A and B are shown apart, each in its own frame.
Chain A
Amino acid sequence: MKHTISVLLQNKPGVLSRVTGLFSGRGFNIESLSVAQTLEPDVSCLTLVTSGEDTIIEQITKQLHKLIDVIKVTDMCEHDNVEREMALIRVKAEAHTRAEVLRIVDIFRGKVIDVGPKSYVVEITGKASKLQAVIDILRPIGIQEIVRSGTTAMTRAQKS
């Protein structure tokens, strides 16, 4: 089963390689990963998506905890959470398809962020499934390039 794990880390050189080294060294798998600073400049948040049986996930979270630079590990699957991914898609946009692309982008609440004579760059955010849906629909029109971010996630506000 897929798990999104959120890790708060000390923002120090080499910390990312401690995390990735742990995964490669112990044979765990990383499907996606994103890292950036948090509100505190000396703390980073790393979100990674991995998959495995419960025992593997348990080991992953314990081993992450064991790293000296790790502050907090949260398995997002244990919480109600929101997850987002972003994709930049360069799609063919010639005279007869430009309007169609714009319509699709609009339906998925995406944005065209770069306009070229024969292509657009489209920005889409959402869950992985939504991104996949956009890609599937744009594919027949002609996708030239895709860049996707890793997943980021946050727990929802508690309903009191």
Chain B
Amino acid sequence: MKLTGAQAFLKCLEEHGIEIIFGYPGGALIDVYDELMKNDKIHHVLTRHEQAAVHAADAFGRIKGSVGVALVTSGPGATNAVTGIASAYLDSIPLVVFTGQVPTKLIGNDAFQEVDIVGITRPITKHNYLVKDADQLIPIIREAFHLAKTGRPGPVLVDLPKDVLATRITYPELKPISMRTYKPTYEPHPGQIEKACQAMLKAKKPVIYAGGGVILSDSNVELTELARKLNIPVTMTLMGLGGFPGSDLLSMGMLGMHGTYYANMAVANCDLLIAVGARFDDRVTGRVDAFAPHAEIIHIDIDPSSISKNVRVDIPIVADCKHALLAINSWFGRSKEFNVDECVEKNRPWHEQVREWKNKHPLGYVEETDIIKPQFVIQKLNELTGGDAIITTEVGQHQMWTAQFYHFNKPRQFATSGGLGVMGYGFPAAIGAQMAAPDKVVIDIAGDGSIQMNIQELATCRQEKLPVKVAILNNGYLGMVRQWQELFYNKQYSSTVMEVVPDFVKVAEAYGAVGLRATKPSEVEPVIKEALKINNTVFMDFVIAREEGVYPMVPAGKATTEMLLV
């Protein structure tokens, strides 16, 4: 039996176990949307902006551990999706984005709602396709899913011309995918594992630096086993939070520009740095030549181009983090040279040193009685959700405070736009997260600036009846940029003062959601408690200390030891 391209497209999504997609219709996609109405296996979430559809699909994939799917129309639909795609690319998130396209005959004619989206997204996708031949539609979609989730994951875009979706085709049989040019390395080289383990045996001041790769490869259990077995303190990147329990005694929290004092000091003084699924981003390293200057560096990463890109690595291990950590753990399991007590003993002075740093400058802030401190709100959220909520964030000060003060003990509990730093990510991401985990508490921690970048998604929340909670840390500033202006630009608050801020309570109410407000510290807890009780979308407007800064802070281009402290 022959199917139209649109029918085959949906059948292929079903074949990949896709039950929820996020999208926005348009002329080029009418055939698909017509079929979607008849389909009871795939639920389509209508966002109110294509960017939101992609962010929601991104977070859906992160929380569920699967591939997110977004569907947007040609032209402006496709260009609106670009920010979402770029964000997923920089965070290595598995995602397949389908864009409508004008009929093949019109391509190149500057037709209505035509853009060369394959050209536009070439540098921000892992790979992309224009389906020119209806018979290639299904093989291409299968390849797209395969590429998105294997190796270093990433977004893949498939451009679907309108005539391809209307052409009748025979649905091809499922065959194992074999790509001549694409064979990611999963298994580590045994020689490199041996070298890495020997280095770990010798090290007296080791540090594990864990990134998003730990979460993407689901290797948190193996990482935790290694850290505990060898008694190695762990620091995480923003993307790595939850890859190791944040409240564990071995956790030093996040490192880098707004990392903890002790994590940055430990990295600067360690003799062995074990980087697992991290990429030595500039926000982590600060001045590169002063990053871990005394350390031998082991780097586990599935992408060979990440290795020695920014920082020269001594022992590279190209492999999936899980496979590499399993191999390392099994090496220590059978090694005769390894003795747990000796290892603990050998690292004792190092742990004492780390503890001393922790005691000297713990994460903190100056508490006040009459004005709400943003850190206090996040501590309360952590406390009242038992550290068990799924958290998303926008980008800015609130994002860094969240990373510092919410203790992520589990992977796939946190979704944030780490690499691209997208304001407007968190709210649609919370929608994706809530769709992925309907029974969980999902909170978007936002700023008053960034929530306005995708505030229209209140409508999506209401339409899908999602009890998403949004905690707005409202200081009337674009706080992170204002902080830089305060510190490095003579307090010239150029365009960072939000002279008009909407009444968020009323905005929520206008959409049929609930708005709550706290203006005093004593109101914070009751507002959060009430919000958590309400089975509806809730905006919590926390009016916070206006000029609170995020500390510690490593000024751009400085060594990570040159921190500005509270």
Contact = CB atoms under 8 A, between A and B. Distances in A.
Interface stretch (B17-25, B115-123, B269-277, B512-520): B115-123
B361 interface: no
A62 to B, nearest CB: 4
Contacts of B179: 68
A65 B305 contact: yes
A31 interface: no
B304 interface: yes
B181 A21 contact: no
Interface in B262-320: 303-305, 307-309
Interface string A1-38: 00000000010011001100110010000000000000
A59 B309 contact: yes
Contacts of B149: none
A58 interface: yes
Interface in B112-137: 118-119, 122-123, 126-127, 130
B126 A17 contact: no
B127 A68 contact: yes
A22 B125 CA distance: 12
Nearest to B156: A68
A69 B143 CA distance: 13
Interface residues of B, number: 18
A38 to B, nearest CB: 14
Contacts of B130: 13-14
Contact of A55 (B181, B303, B308): B308
A156 interface: no
Contacts of A59: 305, 309
Contact of B303 (A14, A25, A66): A66
Contacts of A10: 180-181
Contacts of A68: 126-127, 147, 179, 181-182
B123 A58 contact: no
A25 B126 CA distance: 14
A62 B307 CA distance: 9
A140 B147 CA distance: 57
A55 B305 CA distance: 11
B122 A21 contact: yes
Contacts of B303: 66
A70 interface: yes
A25 to B, nearest CB: 5
Contacts of B305: 59, 62-63, 65-66
A17 B182 contact: no
Interface string B86-128: 0000000000000000000000000000000011001100110
A134 interface: no
Contacts of A18: 122
Contacts of B308: 55, 58
28 contacts: A10-B180, A13-B130, A14-B118, A14-B122, A14-B130, A17-B119, A17-B122, A18-B122, A21-B122, A59-B305, A59-B309, A62-B304, A62-B305, A62-B307, A63-B305, A65-B304, A65-B305, A66-B303, A66-B304, A66-B305, A68-B126, A68-B127, A68-B147, A68-B181, A68-B182, A69-B181, A70-B181, A71-B180
Given A14-B122, A68-B179, 11 more contacts: A10-B181, A22-B123, A25-B123, A58-B308, A59-B305, A62-B304, A62-B305, A62-B307, A69-B181, A70-B181, A71-B180
